[in-house]
């Protein structure tokens, strides 16, 4: 392991120890929102469901084995046919190649899974409206969103795309195949997403907010400064200060 990687590992260990000590009674400050959302899907999927996996591409949410166990019919919707075609065999039953915000049909889905996708679309309002059309009445969608108000998001919006990718891949080389897509963060705040959900003919049944991010852990002093800022921001703005959030919505 290189000296640089050892340095990062040491800082990550310090940052995690700090969080464990300071926020041990505040799970929303230490739980990874994305991982939590993936586990949450299991509460809402049932045998025989018709599922739309939005933005899964080559990494479908359900493995072929899990799909078979639950007798799911899974529709993969992604902007890239190349990504969809690289998915494991039998992961999808149908493929829909288009940007989610451009979808205008209906898929009569019991469940739509949309994790870390809305920040990459040009119109979050149109994307949520499309998700609503995908659902059958009473169907649900789980939507996980990195918030536009997060400090890291603000930095991402200011930096050129090539700089962002180089910095991300240099620091976290394991993200080369899963991250680095262009982000817009249009309407990606809790208040705006809730408004777009309600205008789409759905209701937000459940909302979860997370005040955690792993990106600053690689340099302990920066991590501590970010934590101080986040606590102050949380006091000032409440849930709007969340780094990430999850909405469970139901079509009326």
* CATH number of the domain that residue 149 is part of: 3.40.50.150
Q: What is the pLDDT of residue 239?
A: 95
Task: State the pLDDT confidence band at 152, using cuts at 50, 70 and 90.
Answer: confident
In sequence order, what are the beta bridge partners of 31?
Answer: none
Query: Where do the DSSP E strands lie in the chain?
Result: 50-54, 73-78, 94-97, 109-115, 135-146, 202-210, 244-251
Please state, in angstroms and rounded to a whole number, the distance separating the CA atoms of residues 202 and 212: 28
Q: What is the pLDDT of residue 172?
A: 59
Please state, in angstroms and rounded to a whole number, the distance separating the CA atoms of residues 155 and 160: 10
Q: What is the pLDDT of residue 170?
A: 56
pLDDT digits (tens, 9 = 90+) for 177-230: 555 578 899 999 999 999 999 999 999 999 999 999 888 998 999 999 999 999
Mean pLDDT across 119-140? 97
Residue pair 59/87 in contact by the 8 Å Cβ criterion: yes
- The residues, any chain, with a CB within 8 Å of residue 228's CB and separated by 6 or more, are none
pLDDT score of 165 more than 80 = no
Residue pair 171/221 in contact by the 8 Å Cβ criterion: no
Max Cα distance, the chain (Å) = 56
Q: What is the pLDDT of residue 19?
A: 96
Domain that holds residue 97: 3-251
Give SS3 for 80. Answer: coil
How many domains in the chain? Answer: 1
pLDDT digits (tens, 9 = 90+) for 82-99: 999 999 999 999 999 999
The count of residues in the chain is 252
Instruction: State which H helix or E strand residue 135 sits in.
Output: strand 135-146
In sequence order, what are the beta bridge partners of 14?
Answer: none
Please state, in angstroms and rounded to a whole number, the distance separating the CA atoms of residues 252 and 248: 13
Q: What is the pLDDT of residue 195?
A: 98
In sequence order, what are the beta bridge partners of 50?
Answer: 73
pLDDT digits (tens, 9 = 90+) for 12-58: 999 999 999 999 999 999 999 999 999 999 999 999 999 999 999 99
Write 79-82 long-range contacts (CB < 8 A, 24+). Answer: 79/55
């Amino acid at each position: 392991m290189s000296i640089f990687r050892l340095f990062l590992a040491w800082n990550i260990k310090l940052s995690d120890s700090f969080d464990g000590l300071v926020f041990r009674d505040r799970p929303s400050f230490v739980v990874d929102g994305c991982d939590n959302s993936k586990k949450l899907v299991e509460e809402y999927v049932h045998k025989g469901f018709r599922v739309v996996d939005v933005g899964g591409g080559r990494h479908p949410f359900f493995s072929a084995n899990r799909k078979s166990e639950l007798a799911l019919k899974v529709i993969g919707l992604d902007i890239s046919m190349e990504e969809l075609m690289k998915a494991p065999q039998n992961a999808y039953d149908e493929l829909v190649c288009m940007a989610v915000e451009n979808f205008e049909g209906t898929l009569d889905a019991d469940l739509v899974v949309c994790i870390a996708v809305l920040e990459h679309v040009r119109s979050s309002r149109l994307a949520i409206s499309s998700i609503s059309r995908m659902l059958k009445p009473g169907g649900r969608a789980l939507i996980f969103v990195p918030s536009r108000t997060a400090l890291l998001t603000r930095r991402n919006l200011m930096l050129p795309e090539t700089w962002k990718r180089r910095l991300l891949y240099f620091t976290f080389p394991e993200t080369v195949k899963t991250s680095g897509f262009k982000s817009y963060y249009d309407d990606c705040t809790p208040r705006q997403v809730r408004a777009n959900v309600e205008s789409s003919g759905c209701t937000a049944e459940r909302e979860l907010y997370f005040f955690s991010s792993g990106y600053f852990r690689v340099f302990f002093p920066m991590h501590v400064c970010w934590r101080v800022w986040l606590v102050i921001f949380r006091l000032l703005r409440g849930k709007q200060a969340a780094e990430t959030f999850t909405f469970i919505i139901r079509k009326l």
